A and B are shown apart, each in its own frame.
Chain A
Amino acid sequence: MFRNLSFRYKIPLRASILILFTATVVAGAIMYHAYRNLKEDLLANSETLGRVLAHPLATALLHDDLWHAYEIINSPFSTSGDDNTQPQVIMVLDAQQRVYVSTQPRQFPVLSTPTAPMHELEALHEAVAAPSITSQPIQIPGSDKFFILTPIVSDNVKLATLVTGYSNSMFLPRYYGIARKAIITTLLALAVLLPISWYWAWRMAIPLTQLAKCMGRVGKTLPEIEECQLYISKDEIGQVGTAFAHMLEQLQEKEVLEAQMLHSERLAAVGRLAAGIAHEINNPLGGMLNAISTLKKHGNADPQTTKTVSLLERGLGQIQNIIAALLVEAKLKSHPLTVQDIEDTRTLVLADAHQKSAEVVWENDILETLPLPSTLVRQILINLLLNAIAAIEPRGRVRCHIYRDSVNLFLRVENGGAHIPAERMAYLFEPFSPVREGGYGLGLWVIYQIAQQMQGEIVVQSHPGETSFVVTLPIRERMS
């Protein structure tokens, strides 16, 4: 039960139990010591009283002056009575253990042996019979009474025994007074401490519970770090929070990476499939086109046949073009990329731009020849630009920025046209997934294949109002 309880309750409960335990122990100790002190005081007072009374009693006993003895033993009672250390009964027992005189003559008459009403006095009789001449307390077992025996001595002879009887309950009211104060003080302290400790402990549990709640969500989803409201500090909970945040970041990175890998693998699989099919089609296609060529050169074809063969040739040509587009075989052997090559690309797309009255913002930071195959780079750039121009509204704007750092060439093309919806993003580079109406959907496939073969990468960002493609191509010192 308790094991499964939230720390929000467990910590305050433990703190409360600790406080209660401490309060109980402290209050108990105070009460115990108060009890002990009161009892000791009572014993000390009683023994003093016994000694004080015993001395004049010796004279009274020697003179056999019973009334005088009676007055002496009654003297402690003459002071009127809120003194709760007063004895209950005082009596003088003679050598035969008979009552010589007592303060309660009706209960303990003169000459009687205190038996029936004081059956608990077995121990008392033994003590009285002993020749000891020092005073001693006798606690009656199982009774709240105790007795102080003080020998009445004259010239070292024990004349009789003074018995002062007390009840523990006599000082109980005073004890209860002390105990009540101790309990009230303790309760007041508890009334202050318990809410404070509960609040503190509850505060202490909050970061833990938040962390636990957030961790509980991992698996189903990857919660954002901001959502978790993690507790910032250098203590252990703070450290755990920091580690957890770190872990979340790594998980997110990994998730992104996995998504990219999945994407790349799918594209690769699609690429292999497309290439395989294209190869298989290409061979018979080449044969067919050769046969048609031969037929056109050497055959005596009637006009009808010639027309049919031409139709076949055009159709097969179209198939060949598509196959060729699918089979992007990087023609790596090409002359290095010159500034002129880049500028030519601009010239090539301007015609399309003009048709849409689009503006092409051209920023070319490349001022020297780069060891990159010019044909491929130009193909990428043309495809990107044509896509961008196609995407924008008339009179729109396309921006092209070509730049490099020490190891890469960057081709960045932006447009303000309709953005690419997220659901299409996943299939963006697959063949036959046209980004615009009417295309085969092979432009981006080609870019992807080329970039792949040049060990480059493509980053696409598309939000409403802006779509950007950045193709990064590594620059090698020497073209292979």
Chain B
Amino acid sequence: MRSLVATILLCLTFAGPVMAEPASQSVLPNSGETKAPIRIGLTPVFLDNQTTFVNAWRAYLSKRLNRPIEFVQRASYREITDLLRAEKLEFAWICGAPFVRYKNELKLLSVPVYQGKTTYRSYLIVPASDKLTTSIGDLRGKIFAFSDRDSNSGYLVPVYELQNLHQKPGSFFARTFFTWSHRNVVQSVADGLAQAGAVDSYVWDMLAIQSPKLTAQTRVVHASKEHGFPPFVATRNVPPEDVELMRQTLVDMSKDAEGARLLKKLRLDGFVAGNEHLYDSIAAMIHAIAEN
């Protein structure tokens, strides 16, 4: 069960409830006899093997909303983002970066609260055997693992930091690659496949609890400044009352026993409505990189 939780954490790009039929008119629980399922996008890698947890959460949400819930998992952030933009999902748990990038098409649904805050950081990690590296600037000519091109903590932050050193990853590193999930970044650094990587602080912390042997093979060199925690978002065409209902359901999770139990597994304090300005720091980085 612990590992299930860890997996989920990695995918900050959790999509929200997803509707199987894009043409569904309403997500409302009481909208009619024929209730199309709500489709929630999740970045899949961590949840693939967490079927028990996902099923429990789905049952919980389904019961709360009185609607069938369908979780949609894909191999990368981009595929979930694309499904969202194509309105083939109603909700999704995604990363801050794609939310900022497609702000016009998405609405902020809610923000998880982790250790009392709605923020997290990006960790720069190296193998535990590497005792010398102190910053990303020491990693010239190394092999570097990103989590996903659309990830804030796993891509945007290290690229931005390199840019501050007037470097680009393609020339600064000997080789970079994407692992498509934060957990795999940790795994690749632990195995020695990559000599450094960027990972979501929430995921690394969860892994440190779930799989201490794995994280023990890595060393956190540097933690970035805080950024907005990966949010739940909704597509623009979801009726506002449905958005509000889903948001309330998430926010209320901490108020009942079952919801609290599920949150505990995710090691989250709960959900809050959140504020879009939470993601201004990410927007600034995107802007800075685009300008260069």
B102 within 8 A of A: no
Q: Which of A85-112 contact B (CB under 8 A)?
A: 101, 105-106, 109-111
A105 and B177 in contact (CB under 8 A), knowing A67-B145, A67-B184, A111-B143?
Answer: no
Q: Is A232 an interface residue (CB 8 A)?
A: no
Q: Is A65 an interface residue (CB 8 A)?
A: yes
Nearest to B174 among chain A residues (CB) is A111
Is the pair B175, A65 in contact by a Cβ cutoff of 8 Å?
no
Contact with A along B163-178 (1 / 0, CB 8 A): 0000000000011011
B202 at the interface (CB under 8 A from A): no
Cβ of A70 within 8 Å of any chain B Cβ, yes or no, is yes
Complex: chain B residue closest to A71, CB-CB = B184
Asked if B193 and A70 sit within 8 Å, CB to CB, the answer is yes
Partner of A105 from B174, B178, B184, B191 at Cβ < 8 Å: B191
Interface 1/0 per residue, A98-139 and B, CB below 8 Å: 000100011001110000000000000000000000000000
- Contact mask for chain A residues 65-86; partner B; CB cutoff 8 A; 1 contact, 0 none: 1111010000000000000000
Q: A109 with B192: in contact, given A65-B178, A67-B145, A67-B180 (CB under 8 Å)?
A: yes
Q: Is A66 a contact of B192 with CB atoms below 8 Å?
A: no
A109→B143 contact, CB < 8 A? yes
Q: Which of B84-133 contact A (CB under 8 A)?
A: none
A111 touches B188 (CB 8 A): no
What is the chain B residue whose CB lies nearest that of A102?
B193
Chain A: CB-nearest residue to B179: A67
Q: Would you give the shortest CB distance from A106 to chain B, in whole angstroms? A: 4
Which partner residue on chain B sits nearest A110 by CB separation?
B143
Asked if residues B192 and A105 are in contact (CB atoms below 8 Å), the reply is: yes
Is A111 a contact partner of B177 (Cβ separation < 8 A)? Answer: no
Kindly state the separation between the CA atoms of A109 and B141 in the bound complex, as whole angstroms. Answer: 13
A111 to B141, CA, bound (A): 11
A109 CB contacts on chain B under 8 angstroms: 143, 192
Partner of A101, one of B178, B184, B193: B193
Grouping DSSP codes into helix (H, G, I), strand (E, B) and loop, the B interface class, with mixed when no group exceeds half, is: mixed
Chain A residue numbers with a CB within 8 Å of B145 are 67
Q: Which residue of A lies closest to B141 (CB)?
A: A111
A68 to B180, CA, bound (A): 9
| Chain A min CB distance to B183 (Å) | 11
Specify the chain A residue showing the minimal Cβ separation from B191.
A105
**Residues of chain B within 8 A of A66, CB atoms compared:** 175, 177, 193
B188: which of A64, A65, A67, A106 is its contact (CB, 8 Å)? A67
Mark out the residues of chain A between 126 and 160 whose CB falls within 8 Å of any chain B CB in the assembled complex: none
Q: How far is the CA of A116 from the CA of B183 in the complex (A)?
A: 32
**Chain B interface extent, by class:** 10 to 19
Q: In the complex the two chains form, is B143's CB within 8 Å of A65's CB?
A: no
Measured CB to CB, the closest approach of chain B to A95, in angstroms, equals: 16
Docked Cα-Cα span, A66 to B187, in Å, equals 13
Q: Which of A206-238 contact B (CB under 8 A)?
A: none
From known contacts A67-B145, A67-B184, infer whether A106 and B178 are also in contact, taking CB-CB under 8 Å.
no
- Tell me the B30-60 residues at the A interface (CB within 8 Å): none
| Chain A nearest Cβ from B184, distance in angstroms | 6
Interface size for A (C-beta < 8 A) is: 12
Q: Report whether B143 and A70 are in contact in the complex, using a CB–CB cutoff of 8 Å.
A: no
Q: Tell me the minimal C-beta distance from A61 to chain B in angstroms.
A: 12
Chain B positions within 8 Å of A110 at CB level: 143, 175, 193-194
A65:B177 contact, CB within 8 angstroms:
yes
Q: Chain A nearest CB: distance from B61 CB in Å?
A: 31
Q: Are B178 and A67 in contact (CB under 8 A)?
A: yes
- Pair B175/A105 contact, Cβ less than 8 Å: no
Give Cα A101–Cα B179 distance, bound, in whole angstroms: 13
Q: Tell me which residues across on chain B come within 8 A of A65, comparing CB atoms.
A: 177-178
**Set A64, A68, A105: member contacting B193, Cβ < 8 A:** A105
Complex Cα distance A265/B188, Å?
122
Output the nearest chain A residue to B180 by Cβ-Cβ distance.
Answer: A67
Q: How far is the CA of A106 from the CA of B192 in the complex (A)?
A: 5
Instruction: Please name all residues of chain A whose beta carbon is closer than 8 Å to the beta carbon of B177 when the two chains form the complex.
Output: 64-67
Chain B nearest Cβ from A303, distance in angstroms: 164
A362–B126 Cα gap in the complex (Å)?
141
- Look across to chain B and name the residue whose beta carbon is closest to the beta carbon of A100: B175
A residues 46-67 touching B (CB-CB < 8 Å): 64-67
Residues of chain A within 8 A of B180, CB atoms compared: 67-68
Determine how close the nearest CB of chain B comes to the CB of A470; give it in whole angstroms: 119
Name B135-171 residues within 8 Å CB distance of A.
Answer: 143, 145
Write out the residue numbers on chain A whose beta carbons fall within 8 Å of the beta carbon of B174.
111
Chain A contacts for B193, CB-based, 8 A = 66-67, 70, 101, 105, 110
Do A111 and B175 touch across chains, with their CB atoms under 8 A apart?
A: yes
A299 to chain B, nearest CB (A): 164
Give A106 to B174 CA distance when docked, in angstroms: 16
Smallest CB separation, A235 vs chain B (Å): 78
Q: Which residues of B contact A70 (CB under 8 A)?
A: 188, 193
* A64 cross-chain contacts in B, Cβ below 8 A: 177
Neighbouring A residues of B188 by C-beta, 8 Å = 67, 70
Q: Return the chain A residue nearest B127 by Cβ.
A: A106
The complex places the Cα of A392 from the Cα of B197 at a distance, in Å, of: 139
Give A117 Cβ to nearest chain B Cβ, in Å: 14
User: For the complex, what is the distance from the CA of A110 to the CA of B195, rounded to whole Å?
Assistant: 10
* Contact partners of B184 in chain A: CB under 8 A: 67
* Cα A111 to Cα B177 with chains together (Å): 13
Q: How far is the CA of A66 from the CA of B184 in the complex (A)?
A: 12
User: In the complex, which residues of chain B have a beta carbon less than 8 angstroms from the beta carbon of A68?
Assistant: 180
In the complex the two chains form, what is the Cα distance from A64 to B177 in whole Å? 8
Distance in angstroms between the alpha carbons of A106 and B191 in the assembled complex: 7
Residues of A373-405 whose CB lies within 8 A of B: none
Bound complex: CA of A66 vs CA of B178, how far in Å? 7
CB of A463 to closest CB in B, whole Å: 111
Which residue of chain A is the closest to B146 with respect to CB atoms? A67
Task: Compute how far the CA of A414 lies from the CA of B82 in the bound complex, rounded to whole angstroms.
Answer: 145
Q: Report the bound CA distance from A68 to B179 in whole Å.
A: 7
For B191, what are the chain A residues with a Cβ–Cβ distance below 8 Å?
105-106
CB distance from A68 to the nearest CB of B (A): 8
Cβ–Cβ < 8 Å partners of B143 in chain A: 109-111
| A residues whose Cβ falls under 8 Å from a Cβ of B | 64-68, 70, 101, 105-106, 109-111
Q: Which 3 A-B residue pairs are closest in the complex by CB-CB distance?
A: A66-B177, A106-B192, A105-B193
Question: 25 A-B residue contacts at CB 8 Å?
Answer: A64-B177, A65-B177, A65-B178, A66-B175, A66-B177, A67-B177, A67-B184, A67-B188, A67-B193, A68-B180, A70-B193, A101-B193, A105-B191, A105-B192, A106-B191, A106-B192, A109-B143, A109-B192, A110-B143, A110-B175, A110-B193, A110-B194, A111-B143, A111-B174, A111-B175
B residues in contact (CB < 8 Å) with A: 143, 145, 174-175, 177-180, 184, 188, 191-194
Further 7 A-B residue pairs, CB within 8 A, beyond A105-B191, A106-B191, A110-B194: A65-B177, A66-B177, A67-B180, A67-B184, A70-B193, A101-B193, A111-B143
